Structures are given as C-alpha cells and as structure tokens.
Amino acid sequence: MFNKLKRDLQRFMIGRYGNDQLNTFIYVIVILIFFLTLFYRNNTVLAWIYFFGFAILILRSLSKNRAQRQKENRIFLKLTKPFRSRFSILRSNLKDKDHRYYICPQCNAKVRIPSGHGKVAITCPHCRHEFTKRS
C-alpha cells in the first residue's frame, strides 16, 4: 500500500521543481504566521498572509518551470548572503573554542585565527587586507 503511494508520488513529481532554500524560508515564515494566527484569532490579515504564503509554497514546489524557480532561488541566495555568512561566523565561534572567526571587511572572506592572543593584526589570506581584531 505505502510502496504504491510512494511510487505514485514519485511519478507525479517527475519534472517538477521540488524544494530549495527559498521554499524552506517561505515554509518557516508560513509556520510562524500560522502560530501567530493561533494567538490572534480574529486577525484576518494574518490569515490571508498565511494562505497566500502557503499557496506560493505549493505553486513553487509543483512548478515545471525549473529555470524560473532556480533564478528566483539565486536572487534569494544573493540577497541573503550577508545574513547567512554572519550566522555562519556566529555558529563557528560557538562551536570552535580554540579559534575565532571573522569576516574580512574588504572581500568578505571567512578568516580563522587562534583565540586567546589579545588584540592582533589579521591579514586576509585572499586579498591581503590587514585589519585588527581581538582574539
């Protein structure tokens, strides 16, 4: 029973776009708005935003226009790159206690230095720009 359902779903999704980073972001936003609508029950604006976001999510996932969906995802990734790189630095600093991670102010490359050396001059290995940070 489940194998047939799985095969039918796989056959249906052939040629369709599926999921990407933009869809994941829309999904998280839709879930947050859903929980907001639980707290503010009489807010029709939130409900319309929720349904509109959910419709976009479904339409993007089931779309057969792969080139357009990939273009939209590339634009999304380009616009969110500064936020994602800052989050990556924060995550690296929390994970690795022996090193500190910084972003070069000139080329935005990720630079790793040993921690516990006080204020140090850092030379970016990519662009050779020198900047000062605390380790």
How open is the CA angle 58-79-15, to the nearest 5 degrees?
35
- Residue 6 and residue 58 in one domain: yes
pLDDT tens-digit map of 33-53: 988 888 887 788 888 888 999
The Cα diameter of the chain in Å comes to 64
pLDDT tens-digit map of 12-27: 888 889 899 999 999 9
- Residue 25 and residue 81 in one domain: yes
Average pLDDT over residues 112-117: 86
φ/ψ (deg, to 5) at 107: -110, 0
- Residue 21 and residue 86 in one domain: yes
- Residues composing the chain: 135
Give the global pTM.
Answer: 0.70
- Residue 70 and residue 120 in one domain: no
Residue-number span of the structural domain to which 103 is assigned: 97-135
Burial-class residue 23 by CB neighbours within 10 Å (0-12, 13-18, 19+): buried
pLDDT tens-digit map of 45-94: 888 888 999 999 999 999 999 999 999 999 999 999 888 888 888 888 88
pLDDT tens-digit map of 91-113: 888 888 888 998 888 888 888 88
- Residue 36 and residue 85 in one domain: yes
- Residue 11 and residue 72 in one domain: yes
- Residue 81 and residue 124 in one domain: no
- Confidence band of 118 (pLDDT split at 50, 70, 90): confident
Tokens of 8: 């039918």
- Residue 104 and residue 83 in one domain: no
Report the number of distinct structural domains present in the chain: 2
- Residue 72 and residue 113 in one domain: no
